[in-house]
């Protein structure tokens, strides 16, 4: 089986929200704290697990999402709360500058090569406001 963002989205979009719980208030508060007045950029908003609740607190949320099935689910659940500015983490640009760019729930590892990961970080650096933050939530198994 070929793995990419589209195959992931096709496999998970309908069941993702049942398998993965809503974010904790502490997680959302941490993101709000780093965001300041925004706007925020989420890499891989998926079904809106983080972006939806953050948008309800009045923050402007933009996203980079490659999976059409995930985007469809996001819009079903949350309407147009997330403005999509790109489709590929390792190759995007935005006319906006962000106080916080974030990627959570190990989504960064959807970039399968180190080259793609470095390109992603370069794209993020290009769209951050001076003094802005890039927050990565990663978990690596203890092997």
pLDDT band at 50 (very low <50, low <70, confident <90, very high): very high
Q: Would you say residue 7 lies in a domain?
A: no
- 58-104 pLDDT, tens digit per residue, is 999 999 998 888 899 889 989 998 998 988 989 999 999 999 999 99
Q: Would you say residue 114 lies in a domain?
A: yes
Q: Would you say residue 52 lies in a domain?
A: yes
Number of domains in the chain: 1
Alpha-carbon distance of 46 to 110, in angstroms, equals: 12
The CATH code of the domain that includes 83 is: 3.40.50.150
Q: Would you say residue 5 lies in a domain?
A: no
Query: Residue 132 sits in which domain range?
Result: 27-136
What is this structure's pTM? 0.86
The answer to whether residue 51 scores a pLDDT higher than 60 is yes
Q: Would you say residue 20 lies in a domain?
A: no
Q: Would you say residue 141 lies in a domain?
A: no
pLDDT band at 107 (very low <50, low <70, confident <90, very high): confident
- 3-14 pLDDT, tens digit per residue, is 555 555 555 556
Q: Would you say residue 22 lies in a domain?
A: no
């Amino acid at each position: 089986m070929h793995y990419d963002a589209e195959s992931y989205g096709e496999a998970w979009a309908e069941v993702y929200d049942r398998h993965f719980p809503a974010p904790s208030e502490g997680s959302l508060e941490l993101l709000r704290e780093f965001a300041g007045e925004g706007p925020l950029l989420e890499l891989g908003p998926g079904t809106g697990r983080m972006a939806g609740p953050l948008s309800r607190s009045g923050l402007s949320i933009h996203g980079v999402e490659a999976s059409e099935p995930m985007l469809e689910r996001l819009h079903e659940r949350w309407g147009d709360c997330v403005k999509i500015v790109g489709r590929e983490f390792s190759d995007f640009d935005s006319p906006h500058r962000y106080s916080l760019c974030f990627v959570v729930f190990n989504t960064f590892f959807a970039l399968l090569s180190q080259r793609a990961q470095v390109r992603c970080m370069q794209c993020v650096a290009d769209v951050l406001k001076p003094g802005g933050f890039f927050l990565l939530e990663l978990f690596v198994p203890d092997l």
